Structures are given as C-alpha cells and as structure tokens.
Amino acid sequence: MTDAAVRIILARQLDEPFDSRRQHARSVRRGAEIRVAHGAYVAAGTWQALDPRSRYLVRTRAVAETRLHRPVLSHQSAAALHGLPSLGEWPRGVHITAGRAAGGRSSGDIIRHSAKLTDDDVVEVDGLLVTSVARTVLDLAIAEPLLGSVTALDRALHVDRRRATPPLVTIDAIWRSYANRMPFRGHVRARDAIEFAVPDADSPLESVSRVNMRAIGCPRPELQARFDDYRGLIGFSEFYWEGHKLVGEADGRSKYVDPRYRHGRTLEQVLLDEKARADRIRALGLGISRWGWEIGVHPDLLARHLADAGLPLGHHW
C-alpha cells in the first residue's frame, strides 16, 4: 500500500465532533488507530503496512489537511514528496515555510520556517503546496549536514546513463534559487554542497562515500568509469583511481534486493553476474575494493578500508 491510498480520518469532518473525538481517542488507546497529527487518525493495520517513508508522507499530508490555510511544505517534508532520499530515519516533524509576516512558532509535530518565497519557489504535488525541487535542495543545503544535503542534491540532479529519464532539476535552476534568496545565513555552506553535487551518483551510498572521501583526503576518483575487454562492455564502476589501478564499488543492499536493479534476475544470478563482472575487471590488471553502508558512512572506517586497498590519504580536493 502507498501513502496516497491511505484514508486519513479528520476529526473536523466528523458529524458529531465531541462523541467522535472521544471514540477515536479510545481507539488509539486500544491500539486500533494511530494518531498521525492533531485531529487526524489512521487505522493501525493500515499504518503497520506502510514503510517509513510512506508513514512520514501520511503524517505530512495529515498536517497539511488539518491546517486552516494551505501550508507550503518544505525541507524534509518537501523532499519526501519529491521522492528525494533521506539519510537515517525520516523525521517525525513536518516542515512548513511561510513569510516572516505570517508569524507562528514551531509546536508539536510542526516545524515552522520563516523565509521569503517567490512564485517559482512553490509548486503543487498531489494536491499539496510544496517548495520546488530547486528550493527544497537549497533549503537542505543550508540546514542539513553535508552528507544529507549532497545526497539529496545528487539525486535531484541525477541523469541515468541512457539519458532516458531527465533530472528532477537542473543545476542552473538551483543556482537561480540560490541567487534569488541572497543574502541569507548559511550561503557559504550551501554553495559548498551545490558545487560538490554531481549528476553521476547512482545511489545514496555513492554520494555519502564521495563526501567522506573528500573528508579523509583520498585521491579524487573518476566517477562512472567505463570498462571494456575483448568481449565488449564489462560495465561501469562507481569510482576509479586510474593512477592506482583501483576500482571502487559502493555496494548497497538495493543492488541485490531491489527489483529495479535485479531486472528480473534471481539473487543467485545477480551474485553470479557480479562475480563474472569482477573477474573480467581484474583480468584487466585492476584491483577492486568493495564496501557497504557500515563502512561508507564512517570516514575513519572508509579511510582504513581504502588505505588497505593501496590509496594514499591526505590529498586536498
């Protein structure tokens, strides 16, 4: 079940508000319903069937639908609606941005931001007002640590290898949003994240690994390098250090369990194909270093891992 198919029960729409509010409060205490926002409920069974992102989207929609005036959802809330990734758990709080004249403070599950919004900064997604992709990634670049903001920026800019799917936003649109908002606190931090973002990262783990590579000072890698042998195309690697004859592979679980990446293959076939690919790359005289989230997200572990693979550290990007 997706979040869009979830029925949210709104207390303000009930025919008998007093009795019905008490009834839903009892249902929450019994565990039959989940209170997802003030005056908004969802059946417990429905809630349990949702993944973390869908649960957050339901909370976001519930908050939006219980406001007297249509709010503009922003930051992580807008990111979720645009399909951008989040590192770690999705937050509980729903982010809303309004002009300074609107006033109001953060309270309960609502996090308010006071900032100027232009017409170009606001779009409609599934009937909700949301900051545009350009404005959303800019807000994240200002507010989030580099790991999170670069991951969102990379995904927004991503262009698949066949050019079949356009990016969610162009780099020019992001820079226009940046210029229109100037001056603002955090512009240096945001500029660093935007300048570091690339359209070549295929996964959040690649983005996280690249940020930490710069932090530990390993040589700057070539991204999505192509490899061929006498049989033709072998494939593309996430990272490649030509001078050190080393290929880097950020292997997240999605490569093996997500149907989008398995292309109808069984897990056994995916593993066999990966082994054959690695053998062909090694036959070119190259080494391969692989790591997962448990290493890529920690700079000290990634440093030790890549140093063991023969990469020198201490470079400045």
pLDDT at residue 22, rounded to an integer:
72
Is the CB of residue 79 less than 8 Å from the CB of residue 140?
yes
The DSSP annotation for 143-166 comes to HS-HHHHHHHHHHHH---TTS-S-
pLDDT at residue 152, rounded to an integer:
98
Tell me the C-alpha distance between 85 and 144, whole Å. Answer: 13
pLDDT at residue 25, rounded to an integer:
74
Pairing of strands 94-98, 246-250: unpaired
SS3 for 35?
strand
Strands (E), 49-188: 72-73, 94-98, 110-114, 122-125, 128-131
pLDDT at residue 101, rounded to an integer:
59
Burial of 21 (0-12, 13-18, 19+ CB in 10 A): middle
pLDDT at residue 60, rounded to an integer:
96
Is the CB of residue 275 less than 8 Å from the CB of residue 309?
no
pLDDT at residue 246, rounded to an integer:
98
The amino acid sitting at 298 is H
The amino acid sitting at 166 is P
What is this structure's pTM?
Answer: 0.89
Tell me the C-alpha distance between 68 and 110, whole Å. Answer: 14
pLDDT at residue 10, rounded to an integer:
84
Low-confidence ranges of the chain (pLDDT < 50): none
Q: CA nearest 237: which of 209, 265, 272, 268?
A: 209
Q: How do residues 14-51 score in pLDDT, each as one tens digit?
A: 655 555 667 777 777 887 888 899 888 999 999 999 99
